[in-house]
Amino acid sequence: MNGGVNGVALTVFILFFLAVTVMGFLAARWRKAENEHSLDEWGLGGRSFGTWVTWFLLGGDLYTAYTFVAVPAAIYAAGAAGFFAVPYTILVYPLIFTFLPRLWSVSHKHGYVTTSDFVRGRFGSKGLSLAVAVTGILATMPYIALQLVGIQAVLDVMGVGGGENTNWFVKDLPLLIAFGVLAAYTYSSGLRAPALIAFVKDTLIYIVIAVAIIYIPIKLGGFDDVFGAASEKYTAAKAGGLVPPEAGQWTYATLALGSALALFMYPHSITATLSSRSREVIRRNTTILPLYSLMLGLLALLGFMAIAAGVKVTNPQLAIPQLFEDMFPDWFAGVAFAAIGIGALVPAAIMSIAAANLFTRNIYKDFIKPDATPAQETKVSKLVSLLVKVGALVFVLTMDKTVAINFQLLGGIWILQTFPALVGGLFTRWFHRWALLAGWAVGMIYGTVAAYGVASPTQKHFGGSAKEIPGIGEIGYIGLTAFVLNVVFTVVLTFLLKALKAPDGVDETSPEDYTADAGDPGVEVELPPATAGTSH
């Protein structure tokens, strides 16, 4: 890694960054509604996005800077085990095709802004709703931090991150500026800002990957040489490989399945979903989003290319930015770095909005100020979105980067425990609210304690997300084991509570709510058709 600043790459990076900053602020005027002082407007973009806007927004939301940096980094460091992200994105789309349209319909009918709104309405339980909200906020915080880690990795490789002996303020100043810009345009424009910027981000990423997958192998002598170099490295290191070792196959499979179940439990995934105009938009998106899985598979191959190119870094997260620095002309390295940097801004904005909506709707309004007006809700949500980002920034600046990654893995274990209440609730009212709360608590406690006991080379606790599965003896994903325990406890306790005739909560939804579409009786179209139509 060279010690100087790459001036050309930095200039290109700054130009793209300035362009999306302007777009972020202009987004406040994009298809502006008459009443902007509501969470429907600020937090969900007026629930008016069509197929293409939703596709780019969901892609920008799910395929983050962390994905761009960490998936090939995992392959660079550990071999084919890092490919688990590819099958889990393939598994997730048929799964969400079955339940996301139902969630959209009931949420649109009742004005639900968050998953916790739905859980409270379906089961008549503020306690269960609070549990889902707190879990969502806790799981989102380290995820936002990882987006900032992605920006920091790019800045380090460009030579503007500062050296070890640099004054901490000077070292972190570029990250502070990026954070300030992100906070400002999210505050002013809400979800419209990342929706607009997502077009630039995804276009850049597709261009960079298309060029990388053709240009870099040609420079390295072809894919045969790339795979050969990777195989030699893994054989010499006796770690990983081009195929997951037999001992790691349970881990690979359970991690892929558990991650697929967890992905759309994250608040930011649901926020992007609920912003769309109709349930048909959701259904269309689940059929075309797998295009991103193809991109992810190609992206993962960059890990092998980094090995073949002789990239040497102490932190694997720097491997792909360094590969771009070494292999591309300076100007195109700047484009690639901009793709990663903007790829951090879009999801970080959506995540902070989603966490803020959860706090406002399911903590502030439910427990602190029940009579809050829509304008007050919006004001609180804007302020909380700032606080969430500040918390993520402090996390990044004060903790080792591997800690941020491992806490994000812990967040995945936690968020999976909301699956029975959310997805179960969309299809059946059979589960008892107290049983769901108890099952959630069991899953959270087991998952946290099990993760606490996992050590890594850099930390004694929370060092990973895989541990021996009780009763089977194989090493598997802690989140999926906790989820199974959660479901077992929920089912057993539901039988018990129903036998004891424990009081059920009031269900404010009805069966037809789950298939309602915009324009049906009682289901409002948020924006006039002439305005909404521009999003196609």
**Nearest to residue 488, comparing CAs of 431, 403, 428, 413?**
431
What pLDDT digit, counting tens, does each position of 369-394 carry?
Answer: 999 888 899 999 999 999 988 888 88
Q: What is the mean pLDDT of residues 302-306?
A: 91
Assign 3 a pLDDT band (cuts: 50, 70, 90).
low
- Top-confidence range, 13-22, 421-430, 463-472: 421-430
Residue 468: its H or E element: strand 466-468
440 pLDDT above the threshold of 90: yes
pLDDT of residue 1: 47
What pLDDT digit, counting tens, does each position of 98-131 carry?
Answer: 889 999 999 988 889 999 999 999 999 999 999 9
Q: What's phi and psi for 476, nearest 5 deg?
A: -140, 175
Residues 230 and 70: their CA atoms lie apart, in Å, by 17
Q: What is the mean pLDDT of residues 18-46?
A: 75
Residue labelled with tokens 């570029």: 174
pLDDT of residue 527: 45
Assign 249 a pLDDT band (cuts: 50, 70, 90).
confident
Q: What's phi and psi for 85, nearest 5 deg?
A: -65, -25
Range of lowest pLDDT (87-101, 134-148, 236-250, 511-525): 236-250
164 pLDDT above the threshold of 80: no
Measured CA to CA in angstroms, residue 197 lies from 56, 210, 317 at distances of 9, 20, 24
Residues 178 and 422 sit within 8 Å (Cβ to Cβ): no
Q: What is the mean pLDDT of residues 131-156?
A: 88
**What are the structural domains, with CATH classification, of the chain?**
7-506 (1.20.1730.10)
> pLDDT > 90: what percent of the chain?
30
Assign 349 a pLDDT band (cuts: 50, 70, 90).
confident
Residues 229 and 465: their CA atoms lie apart, in Å, by 29
Per DSSP, the three-state class of 466 is: strand
Residues 394 and 141 sit within 8 Å (Cβ to Cβ): no
| Number of continuous H segments (helices) and E segments (strands) in the chain | 23, 2
pLDDT of residue 531: 36
Residues 141 and 395 sit within 8 Å (Cβ to Cβ): yes
Residues 270 and 132: their CA atoms lie apart, in Å, by 13
Residues 148 and 344: their CA atoms lie apart, in Å, by 7
Average pLDDT across the chain, whole number: 84
87 vs 536, more confident:
87
Residues 159 and 2 sit within 8 Å (Cβ to Cβ): yes
By CB atoms closer than 10 A (0-12, 13-18, 19+), residue 397 is middle
Question: What residues contact 294, with CB distance under 8 A and at least 6 apart?
Answer: none
- DSSP, residue by residue, 236-259: HHTS--SS--GGGHHHHHHHHHHH
Q: What is the mean pLDDT of residues 8-12?
A: 89
Residues 66 and 69: their CA atoms lie apart, in Å, by 5
Residues 238 and 323 sit within 8 Å (Cβ to Cβ): no
Q: What is the mean pLDDT of residues 54-76?
A: 81
Return the amino acid letter for 440. Answer: W
494 pLDDT above the threshold of 80: yes
- Top-confidence range, 55-64, 253-262, 381-390, 479-488: 479-488
Measured CA to CA in angstroms, residue 166 lies from 107, 169, 171, 520 at distances of 50, 8, 6, 61
Measured CA to CA in angstroms, residue 403 lies from 66, 73, 145, 161, 398 at distances of 14, 16, 10, 19, 10
Structure tokens, 255:
């991690």
| CA 13 to mean position of chain CA atoms | 23
128 HSE (CA, 13 A, CB side): 30
User: Cβ atoms within 10 A of the Cβ of 260, count?
Assistant: 20
pLDDT of residue 478: 93
Residues 319 and 231: their CA atoms lie apart, in Å, by 17
pLDDT of residue 415: 95
pLDDT of residue 497: 94
pLDDT of residue 127: 93
Residue 477: its H or E element: strand 475-477
Residues 185 and 529: their CA atoms lie apart, in Å, by 27
- Top-confidence range, 38-42, 383-387, 530-534: 383-387
Structure tokens, 163:
């050296």
Residues 447 and 36: their CA atoms lie apart, in Å, by 40
What pLDDT digit, counting tens, does each position of 207-237 carry?
Answer: 999 999 999 999 999 999 999 888 888 877 6
- DSSP, residue by residue, 277-298: S-HHHHHHHHHHTHHHHHHHHH
Residues 195 and 277 sit within 8 Å (Cβ to Cβ): no
What pLDDT digit, counting tens, does each position of 398-432 carry?
Answer: 777 667 777 888 899 999 999 999 999 999 999 99
Range of lowest pLDDT (67-81, 130-144, 438-452): 67-81
By CB atoms closer than 10 A (0-12, 13-18, 19+), residue 245 is middle
pLDDT of residue 161: 63
